[in-house]
Amino acid sequence: MADPRKQGALGAFLLSICFPALAFFLEGTFGLITGLTAVVVWWGLALPRRVIWGLSVLFLAAAPFVLIVQGLPKTNVVGAGFGVEHLLAHRLVVLSLVLAALAALSDLLNIDPSRRRRRSGEPLG
């Protein structure tokens, strides 16, 4: 039978390497930057999964307000310029989905850097 600590370390390694690649595949350069930043911050600050989930919900909830601040369309037909003019709301949604995916995968793989921090008694990094 395999050692659970080795399985956890392998899962953490694969998540850290494969997650930014998956984010790049799904959202391009912005997804890669967001995925890399999310993984580095998550490990560097040893954030609990609930913080990642909370940030995901917060960014998703902020997107409609950003869309309203950037301006709603003046006509019944939304043109191609609407997406270009409202890129910040789109980026917030992408950031939210990347964080949700990271939290969900870490839940599935049972990876939590904050547990490791609590066990050792000192911050990571």
pTM of the model: 0.77
For residue 8, give the nearest of 121, 105, 109 by alpha carbon: 109
Say if CB 114 and CB 67 are below 8 A apart: no
Pair of tokens at residue 54:
């909370």
Span 10-36, pLDDT tens digits: 778 888 888 889 889 988 899 899 999
Question: What residue spans define the domains of the chain?
Answer: 4-116
Span 94-125, pLDDT tens digits: 999 999 999 998 888 888 777 655 445 555 44
